[in-house]
Amino acid sequence: MTVSVGDKVPNATLTKMTSDGPRPVNTEEFFSGRCVALFAVPGAFTPTCSAKHLPGFIEKAGELKEKGIDEIACVSVNDAFVMDAWGRDANAVDKITMLADGNGEFAEKLGLSMDASGFGMGKRSQRFSMIVKDGKVSELNVEAPGDFRVSSAEHMLSQL
C-alpha cells in the first residue's frame, strides 16, 4: 500500500555518510519534531536526477528554508558512498542531506518502489517528493513514470 497524506512515515534505517564513515539514520528520529522536504530519485548520477532534480533543490534551498523547511533530504536506492560522492560532485554539501536507502527498504515500506531491471538498475525508488511535518506526510508528489514535474523544488515551494 502506498503512503498517503496524513500517514506517519514508516520506520526504516537509512544511511548517511559522516566524517567517521557511514552512519545509520532512523527515519522516526530523523523526521520527528521538524519539517523536512524529502525528495527521492531513481538513482544517483542518472541524467534527470543529476541535471534537474538535485540541482533544483540546491538552487531553491534558501527559499524552502525561508518557508519553514528545517532540512532538505535526498534519498535514493544507492549506498552511502555513492550518495556522498554525488552530493559532493553536485555541490550539495551544506544544503542537502544525502541519504542512502541501500536495500530499498524505505522505498518498499512507502509503497514507492519500482522495478528498473529493464534498465539494468534492479529495484529502485520511484521519483517523488514529500513534505514531512513531525513525522507525518503533509504533501506527497509522486511522478508518473518518466516524468519530472510534481516532485520538483519549484512545485514544492508552491505547496508551502
**121 backbone dihedrals φ, ψ, rounded to 5°:** -110, -5
Residue ranges of domains in the chain, CATH in brackets: 13-159 (3.40.30.10)
Predicted model pTM: 0.93
- Alpha helices by DSSP H, listed for the chain, are 27-31, 47-48, 54-59, 61-66, 80-89, 105-110, 153-159
Nearest Cα to 105, choosing from 18, 9, 21, 8?
9
Q: Which of the four pLDDT bands, split at 50, 70 and 90, describes residue 52?
A: confident
Report which residue type is found at 149: R
Please identify which of the residues 49, 72, 96, 116 carries the catalytic annotation. Answer: 49
- Residue 113: its pLDDT value, please? 84
Distance between CA atoms of residues 108 and 149, nearest Å: 22
Mean pLDDT of 70-91: 96
Pair type for strands 123-125 and 113-115: antiparallel
Q: Which band of pLDDT confidence, cut at 50, 70 and 90, is reported for residue 146?
A: confident
Q: Which three cell numbers stand for residue 126?
A: 520511484
Q: Closest by alpha carbon to 127, among 150, 104, 157?
A: 150
Predicted confidence (pLDDT) per residue in 101-128, tens digit: 999 999 999 999 867 666 766 587 889 9
Q: What's the chain's average pLDDT?
A: 92
Tally of residues, the chain:
160
- Contact assessment for residue 112 and residue 40, using Cβ atoms and an 8 Å cutoff: yes
- Of 99, 83, 88, give the one whose Cα is nearest residue 36: 99
Query: Could you tell me which residue, 44 or 81, shows the higher pLDDT?
Result: 81
Known catalytic residue at 49: yes
Kindly report, residue by residue over 5-31, the tens digit of the pLDDT.
999 999 999 999 999 999 999 999 999
* Rounded distance between C-alpha atoms, residue 8 and residue 4, angstroms: 9
- As a whole number of Å, the end-to-end CA separation of the chain is 26
